[in-house]
C-alpha cells in the first residue's frame, strides 16, 4: 500500500482543479496506490461526484482551514493547525502518508518541509529542483531553482550528489552526468562561487560519489548534450526557469507549435520536488490546472516508489 497525499485546497483554482486532477490521476496510479485528499470533505465529495470519480482508491481527511497566499507562511503553518497543509505534513511526519503534494503556499510547504519533515542529516541545505525537457527528449534535473539564492560552494557540491541520486532513482538515468552551470567550459572559468564549487565537485567525483563532467554553459541546458543533472545556485536556476517560461509564453502567442516547446509547458512538469528532506514533498505551480495536478500526483508517486529518501539518507550518512 502506498499513500499519496494531496492538498485539495492548494492553488489558485482549488479545490476544483486539485480534486479534478486527483480524479484524473487515480486512473493512472498503481494498483496499490491510494490518493489521500486533505481539505473540505463536503466540497471534495461534491466535486468527485460531479466528475463521476470512482472513489475506491481515494481517502479524504477533512480539514477546516486554508493557508492563503497572503498569510505569513511560518505563522500560518502553526496558527492554522487544522489547515490542509499543516494536517498533511502531520500525516507525512507520522508516516500515515508516503508523500505530500500541494499547489498552495510555497512558503508554507517549505516550512512543513524544514520543520515537520526536516532536512536529512548531513544535508547542509535542502533544495528545490525541476525536471526540464531538452531537445533530445530526455529529462534533465536542474537544481537549485529558487530556494537557496546565496549558495556556498559546499552546498552546490551536495546538490551534485542529490541531483545524481534523483536522476538515477526517479528518472532512471544510468550513471547520470552531473555538470556545474558556468559561463565557460574550462575549469578556471566563472565567479568565485563556481570556481570553488568546481574543485569540490571534482574531488567528490574522483571519490566516486557522482559522475562530474565539468562545466556546462547555459547554451546546453536544453540541448541535453552535456549533462543530465545541472547544478547552480537558486538565483541563477530560478532565472533560467522564469526565462524559459517567458519564452514559452511568447512562442505560444506567436503560434510556435512543436514537441520541444510543448514539453516546456509547466503542466507536464509534475511540480517541483523538495529534495534533501526526510520524505517526498512536491510543490506545484499556484495556477495549476487539473492536468498539472494529475502530473504532480503521478510524479510524487514515482518519487515515493523510487525510495529516494532512503537513498539520500544513506548517501549522506557520515
By the criterion CB under 8 A, which residues form the site for a copy of itself? 135, 146, 149-150, 181, 183, 190-192, 194, 217-223, 233-236, 238-247, 249-251, 253-256, 258, 260
**Of 113 and 134, CB closest to a copy of itself:** 134
Question: How near is the Cβ of 220 to a copy of itself at its closest, in Å?
Answer: 6
The C-alpha cell at 30 is 498503481
Shortest Å, Cβ 34 to a copy of itself = 36
Min separation Cβ 69 and a copy of itself, Å: 13
Q: If you count them, how many residues does the chain have?
A: 318
Grid cell locating 302: 514515482
Q: State the minimum distance, in angstroms, from the CB of residue 137 to a copy of itself.
A: 12
Dist. CA 309–CA 144, nearest whole Å:
18
Question: Under DSSP, is residue 278 helix (H, G, I), strand (E, B) or coil?
Answer: coil
β-strand partners of 273: 282
- Nearest to a copy of itself of 63, 182 (CB atom): 182
Give the SS3 label for residue 132.
strand
The 3-state secondary structure of 184-231 reads: CCCCCCCCHHHHHHHHHHHHHHHCCCCEEEEEECHHHCCCCCCCCEEE
Toward a copy of itself, which CB reaches closer, 1 or 259? 259
Residue that the C-alpha cell 470533505 belongs to: 41
Which residue's CB is nearer to a copy of itself, number 1 or number 254? 254
Cα–Cα distance for residue pair 238/130, rounded to 1 Å: 10
Q: Which is nearer to a copy of itself, 208 or 255 (CB)?
A: 255
8/55 Cα distance (integer angstroms)? 15
Per DSSP, 112 falls in state I
CB of 257 to a copy of itself, least distance (A): 9
Q: Crossing angle, helix 308-315 and helix 153-169, to 10 degrees?
A: 140
Q: Which is nearer to a copy of itself, 5 or 284 (CB)?
A: 284
Minimum separation from the CB atom of position 118 to a copy of itself (A): 25
Q: Report the residue number, 171 or 218, with the smaller CB distance to a copy of itself.
A: 218
Strand bridging mode 33-39 / 2-7: parallel
Q: Is the dihedral of CA 151, 230, 28, 25 positive or negative?
A: positive
Taking the complex as a whole, the smallest distance from the CB of residue 282 to a copy of itself amounts, in Å, to 20
Amino acid at each position: 500500500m502506498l499513500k499519496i497525499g494531496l492538498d485539495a485546497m492548494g492553488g489558485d483554482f482549488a479545490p476544483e482543479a486539485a480534486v479534478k486532477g486527483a480524479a484524473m490521476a487515480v486512473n493512472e496510479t498503481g494498483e496499490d496506490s491510494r490518493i489521500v485528499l486533505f481539505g473540505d470533505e463536503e466540497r471534495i465529495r461534491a466535486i468527485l461526484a460531479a466528475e463521476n470519480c470512482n472513489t475506491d482508491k481515494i481517502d479524504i481527511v477533512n480539514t477546516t482551514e486554508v493557508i492563503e497566499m497572503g498569510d505569513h507562511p511560518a505563522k500560518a503553518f502553526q496558527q492554522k493547525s487544522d489547515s490542509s497543509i499543516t494536517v498533511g505534513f502531520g500525516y507525512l511526519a507520522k508516516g500515515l502518508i508516503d508523500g505530500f503534494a500541494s499547489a498552495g503556499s510555497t512558503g508554507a510547504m517549505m516550512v512543513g518541509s524544514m520543520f515537520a519533515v526536516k532536512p536529512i542529516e548531513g544535508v547542509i541545505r535542502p533544495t528545490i529542483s525541476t525536471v526540464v525537457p531538452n531537445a533530445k527528449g530526455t529529462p534533465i534535473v536542474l537544481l537549485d531553482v529558487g530556494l537557496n539564492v546565496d549558495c556556498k560552494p559546499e552546498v552546490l557540491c551536495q546538490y551534485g550528489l542529490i541531483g545524481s541520486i534523483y536522476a538515477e532513482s526517479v528518472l532512471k538515468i544510468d550513471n547520470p552526468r552531473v555538470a556545474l552551470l558556468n559561463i565557460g567550459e574550462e575549469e578556471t572559468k566563472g565567479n568565485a562561487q563556481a570556481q570553488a564549487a568546481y574543485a569540490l565537485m571534482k574531488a567528490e567525483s574522483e571519490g566516486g560519489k557522482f559522475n562530474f563532467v565539468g562545466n556546462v554553459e547555459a547554451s546546453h541546458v536544453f540541448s541535453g548534450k552535456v549533462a543530465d543533472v545541472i547544478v547552480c545556485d537558486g538565483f541563477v536556476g530560478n532565472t533560467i526557469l522564469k526565462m524559459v517560461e517567458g519564452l514559452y509564453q511568447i512562442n505560444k502567442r506567436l503560434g510556435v507549435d512543436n514537441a520541444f516547446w510543448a514539453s516546456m509547458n509547466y503542466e507536464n512538469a509534475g511540480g517541483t520536488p523538495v529534495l534533501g528532506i526526510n520524505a517526498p514533498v512536491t510543490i506545484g505551480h499556484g495556477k495549476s490546472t487539473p492536468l498539472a495536478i494529475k502530473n504532480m500526483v503521478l510524479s510524487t508517486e514515482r518519487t515515493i516508489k523510487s525510495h529516494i529518501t532512503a537513498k539520500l539518507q544513506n548517501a549522506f550518512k557520515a
